[in-house]
Amino acid sequence: MIELIDVYKIYAEGGDSEVRAIDGINLKVSAGEFVAIVGPSGSGKSTCMNIIGCLDVPTSGTYILNGTDVSEMVDDEQAAIRNETLGFIFQQYNLLPKLSILENVELPLLYRGLPRGERRDRARIALETVGLMGREKHLPSQLSGGQQQRVSIARALAGDPKVILADEPTGALDSKTGREVMELIHKLHQAGNTIVFITHDPNLAGEAQRKVSFRDGQITSDEVLVRSTDI
Amino acid sequence: MSIKQTFSLAFKSLLASKTRSILTMLGIIIGIAAVIILVGVMGGVSNEMTSQFSSFGANQITLTLFSGVTSKKVGEADIQEFVSENLNCFAAYSPTVSINGQLKNGTENTYSSVSGVNEYYDKVGEFSVSEGRFLQYIDCEYRKKVCVIGTYQVDELFEGVSPLGESLKINGTPYTIVGIVEETADRESGSSDDAVYIPYTTAMRASGNTTLSSYTFNCSDSEIVYEAKALLEDFLLDKLKDADAYYIFSFSEILDSLNVMMGILTGVLVGIASISLVVSGVGVMNIMVVTVTERTREIGIRKALGAKKRHILSQFVVEAAVTSAIGGVIGIIFGILLASPVGSILGVTSAVSLQWILIAFTVSAAIGIIFGYFPARRAANMNPIDALRYD
């Protein structure tokens, strides 16, 4: 599903202030996998996630997503990939404050060009999955942090993506609501989604099937975890 | 994303920052209103001038023949033949013999220009007679001493009492008053009410002239004055073989050049008003730059969710266009409402034309599109990850 081959991301290349954010990594994630990426800040895990999410392009190397080489694509082609193949869950939710919950969830479908009726239906189903039916008309600011993160999960779901990318999804939440959000992510995984998520919480990382550790732009360990609950 | 959605998005974001939207629109409102008012007032001035000149005779062409330039001659019979051959262009013509006359009735006397004309001159000058009759063929044929006078003379010489059938002395010779010209200009001196008409044959004898040197023609329509003038010119050149031997003049030429001048003046004034439109366009651009900067994160989110460049571009361009088009509509409304009062201060009836309203609307929408384009393009070209990280 995801294949990074010899990928580098270097800022200010050749200059005095050269930063090797990603210093030659190879990573392969199969469909249906649940991968946690861990590492201290500045280790390159976020940059790696941005490249996987087609939000950033590698300085060199190849990125194959769902069988397509996306590292050579132009902006608008990448936009289409983001829209159809990827679903994002951000630490800061990143909801549009002036749009209602339903409109927020509809956004990826809007840019896909779906007709209004279909958008509404699919957004409602996604909101139902995250348990927020009945709040469609609310603005994000009228919801709690946990609820907002559930809206952003619904938004990632609505587009029916192949891969869900979550960058510290519980980072801004208290442990109880964080727990709820993690349960939801587990549910998505059980429903067959490929999930890649970043965390610095070792307990959360332990919930994944596989843990990839980053340090100084390189992958230092890649271990398969076996959990009794995970069958 | 459909056009409807793009527009509803634009409205939503305008309503979200009302004060800013209104202030942005203000420049366009003022600019467009100024253009509408100026054009309306100038249109009113132009209409007024046209109607005043029309009363002078916009349909008329006058011909003056100069003697001594060439040995060839054009006589009244030639003119008559020419006119009867070109009845599609000429409605009537008359020779004109002007003499300065001392008018006298008993002890009352006044000086006035006396016009010797033929029996068609009422058609040439487009006036009618309110009492009595105009000159007739027989008057000219037998050089009768009859005259038709205007109401100014009635006032001056007869104390306003109808003098029909009475005698009036012109340079000492008595003439019988057979008609009064219908009043059109409040009996003012020098106006169309200040007139004395006598048969041209009589006038020639009185002035000692033996040849006619001046004619006035009336074209059936002001539209064909140029054509008629050209015909007359060809005819005279053919007869006289010398362009210096005659002079042709028409009021419509003056009217046309006045209209051209009015057009230039309107253009200059609209140009000045347009500067405020350009300034307001810069205002729109300024606000859009601020908006794009403020909403960088929103742009990042939209891009992360799959918005293409054109989606972002159209979102911001439409937002700018809607702002300035709404400003334009409000400006047009203010312009229409204020054109009349401003006109009446200047003493003109303003005439706002639909054409200019449409131009004003198009210009205001265009300002939004043009000045909104650059900030919008900047937004569209943002790198998604940089936009997302922006605080």
Q: Domain A32-52+74-224: what homologous superfamily?
A: P-loop containing nucleotide triphosphate hydrolases (3.40.50.300)
Taking only the tens place, the pLDDT of each residue in B160-191 is: 888 888 899 999 899 999 999 988 877 777 77
In this complex, do A55 and B388 lie within 8 Å of one another by their Cβ atoms? yes
pLDDT, residue A122, reads: 94
Taking only the tens place, the pLDDT of each residue in B226-268 is: 888 889 999 998 888 888 889 998 887 887 888 888 889 888 9
Nearest to A111 among B16, B305, B383 (CB): B305
Q: To 10 degrees, the CA torsion angle through A83, A85, A90, A96?
A: 20
Contact in structure between B333 and B365 (CB atoms under 8 Å):
no
Q: What percent of chain B has pLDDT over 70?
A: 99
Res A227 pLDDT > 80: no
pLDDT, residue B56, reads: 67
B60 CA to centre of own chain: 17
Say if A155 is an interface residue toward chain B (CB within 8 Å): yes
Contacts of B294 in chain A (CB under 8 A): none
Res B334 pLDDT > 80: yes
Using CA atoms, how far apart are residues B80 and B198, in angstroms rounded to an integer? 20
Backbone φ, ψ for residue A78 (5° rounding)? -65, -35
In angstroms, the separation between the Cα of residue B24 and the nearest Cα of chain A is 21
CB-facing half-sphere around the CA of B197: CA atoms within 13 A: 30
Q: Most A CBs within 10 Å: which of B299, B301, B305, as the mutation test of the A interface? A: B305
Mean pLDDT of chain A: 90
Query: If pLDDT is split at 50, 70 and 90, which confidence band does B326 have?
Result: very high
Contact in structure between B327 and B29 (CB atoms under 8 Å):
yes
Instruction: DSSP letter for B143, please.
Output: T
How do strand A194-198 and strand A163-167 relate by DSSP bridges?
parallel
Residue B61 Rama label (left phi>0; alpha psi -120 to 50; beta): beta
- Between B276 and B1, where is the model more confident? B276
CB neighbours of residue A142 within 10 Å: 12
Contact in structure between B336 and B352 (CB atoms under 8 Å):
yes
Q: What is the edge-to-edge ordering of all strands in the sheet holding A60-65?
A: A19-29, A2-11, A60-65, A68-69
- As a whole number, mean pLDDT of residues B119-139 equals 90
A106 CA to centre of own chain: 18
Backbone φ, ψ for residue A5 (5° rounding)? -115, 115
Domain ranges for chain B, please list them: 3-52+257-389, 94-218
Burial annotation B326-360 (CB, 10 A radius, 16+ → b, else e): bbbbbbbebbbebbbebbeeeebebbbeeebbebb
**ipTM of model over 0.85:** yes
Q: Most B CBs within 10 Å: which of A46, A55, A81, as the mutation test of the B interface? A: A55
- A164 forms beta bridges with A87, A195
In angstroms, the separation between the Cα of residue B371 and the nearest Cα of chain A is 24
Mean pLDDT of chain B: 88
- Between B362 and B10, where is the model more confident? B362
In angstroms, the separation between the Cα of residue A178 and the nearest Cα of chain B is 22
Using CA atoms, how far apart are residues B79 and B95, in angstroms rounded to an integer? 9
pLDDT, residue B351, reads: 86
Say if B308 is an interface residue toward chain A (CB within 8 Å): yes
pLDDT, residue A231, reads: 44
Using CA atoms, how far apart are residues B59 and B250, in angstroms rounded to an integer? 8
Say if A56 is an interface residue toward chain B (CB within 8 Å): yes
Query: If pLDDT is split at 50, 70 and 90, which confidence band does B276 have?
Result: confident
Q: What percent of chain A has pLDDT over 90?
A: 60
Using CA atoms, how far apart are residues B177 and B166, in angstroms rounded to an integer? 6
Using CA atoms, how far apart are residues A230 and A141, in angstroms rounded to an integer? 36
Taking only the tens place, the pLDDT of each residue in A65-119 is: 988 899 888 889 999 999 999 999 998 899 998 889 999 999 999 999 899 899 9
Query: If pLDDT is split at 50, 70 and 90, which confidence band does B219 have?
Result: confident
CB-facing half-sphere around the CA of A213: CA atoms within 13 A: 11
From B8, B13, B2, select the one nearest B295 (Cα to Cα).
Answer: B13
Q: Tally the residues of chain B.
A: 391
| pTM of the complete model | 0.72
Beta strands in chain A (DSSP E): 2-11, 19-29, 34-38, 60-65, 68-69, 86-89, 163-167, 194-198, 210-215, 218-224
pLDDT, residue B54, reads: 67
SS3 call for A88: strand
Using CA atoms, how far apart are residues B102 and B175, in angstroms rounded to an integer? 12
Among A130-139, B184-193, B213-222, B381-390, name the one with the lowest average pLDDT: B184-193
Say if A100 is an interface residue toward chain B (CB within 8 Å): no
- B146 forms beta bridges with B176
pLDDT, residue B188, reads: 78
Q: Which tokens is B257 given? A: 């050049």
Using CA atoms, how far apart are residues A111 and B315, in angstroms rounded to an integer? 12
From A173, A210, A170, select the one nearest A194 (Cα to Cα).
Answer: A210
- As a whole number, mean pLDDT of residues B311-327 equals 92
First to last CA, chain B: 27
CB neighbours of residue A137 within 10 Å: 10
pLDDT, residue B55, reads: 67
Q: To 10 degrees, the CA torsion angle through B372, B378, B381, B385?
A: -130
How do strand B246-250 and strand B60-65 relate by DSSP bridges?
antiparallel
How do strand A19-29 and strand A194-198 relate by DSSP bridges?
unpaired
Burial annotation B176-206 (CB, 10 A radius, 16+ → b, else e): ebbbbbebeeebeeebbbbbbbbbbbbbbeb
Instruction: DSSP letter for A55, please.
Output: S
